[in-house]
Amino acid sequence: MALFYRLVWPHDDQRKLQFHVLIWRYFRWCARHIPGAKVIVKNASNEDFSKPAVIICNHQSHLDLLCTLMLSPRIVAMTNQWVWNFPLYAPIIHYLEYYPAADGLEANEPKIASLLKRGYSVLIFPEGTRSATCEVLRFHRGAFYLAERIGADIVPVFLDGPGRVLPKNDFCLQPGTITVEVGERVKAGDTSLGETYQERTSAWRQVYKQKLEKKQISASI
């Protein structure tokens, strides 16, 4: 289908958005039908992603993309190199303008800036890899460097449960609950979490650690 869209409407942004909407609806359907799992979305700030942003999210499972891309049709994700090159996925993700993180966010900066100008938010997993223990790993600086360079807002998304429903080193789904919590948008230029992108990288990791530790404590009570 992606190849068909590319051949018939190679430069039509409206048609491309329609394809994003199709993928979004498919992901929403899949999220409601994960065997044995319940997906809960919390969005206290009523974020609708109508204004572009850099979306950051912790990374636990192959289910993470499903749980985040279902939030809006105007979200584009940075992907792993093998996904970018995989023949089954490649025509679709290339058409949707997902870009490989392995190329470096700096190298992709002009493309990402173009996406933001056209109304898309860019999803980045600062950890760069899935956490096998569901603990928050070290954050890489790329997402925060990019947000600073482009002047983009940051929207945090917190995932709790995907790593237990589908662990990193397992291929079998486990029963459980997945919580997708959309945090409050942080405006470009906000220095409450640090003056530089290096400081914000460390501060955001602490935000995620504290947030998810609280969820784990409450779940064990």
Q: If you write DSSP's letter for every residue of 167-205 in order, what string do you get?
A: -TT--S---EEEEEEE---B-TT--TT-SSHHHHHHHHH
Please name which of 198, 190, 154, 129 lies closest in space to residue 54, comparing C-alpha atoms.
Answer: 154
Q: What is the pLDDT of residue 100?
A: 82
The contacts of residue 110 (CB under 8 Å, 6+ apart) are none
pLDDT single digits (tens) 29-48: 999 999 999 999 999 999 99
The stretch 183-208 carries a mean pLDDT of 96
What percent of the chain has a predicted confidence (pLDDT) above 90? 69
- Residue 142 · residue 177 · CB < 8 Å: no
pLDDT higher than 80, residue 133: yes
pLDDT higher than 60, residue 2: no
Query: Which of 14-18, 120-124, 171-175 holds the top average pLDDT?
Result: 120-124
Checking DSSP bridges between strand 153-160 and strand 176-182, what pairing results, if any? Answer: antiparallel
Phi, psi of 28 (to 5 degrees): -65, -40
Please name which of 119, 143, 162, 135 lies closest in space to residue 56, comparing C-alpha atoms.
Answer: 143
The stretch 136-164 carries a mean pLDDT of 95
What percent of the chain has a predicted confidence (pLDDT) above 70? 90
Q: Please, which pLDDT band fits residue 220 given cuts at 50, 70 and 90?
A: very low
pLDDT higher than 80, residue 101: no
pLDDT higher than 80, residue 104: no
Other residues' Cβ atoms within 10 Å of the Cβ of residue 106: 11
pLDDT higher than 50, residue 129: yes
**Gap between the Cα atoms of 29 and 66, Å rounded:** 10
Q: pTM of the predicted model, to two decimals?
A: 0.90
The stretch 106-128 carries a mean pLDDT of 92
Q: What is the pLDDT of residue 11?
A: 56
**Gap between the Cα atoms of 49 and 185, Å rounded:** 10
User: Six-digit token pair at 1?
Assistant: 């289908």
The stretch 172-195 carries a mean pLDDT of 96
Lowest-pLDDT choice from 64-78, 79-93, 167-181: 79-93
- Residue 105 · residue 143 · CB < 8 Å: yes
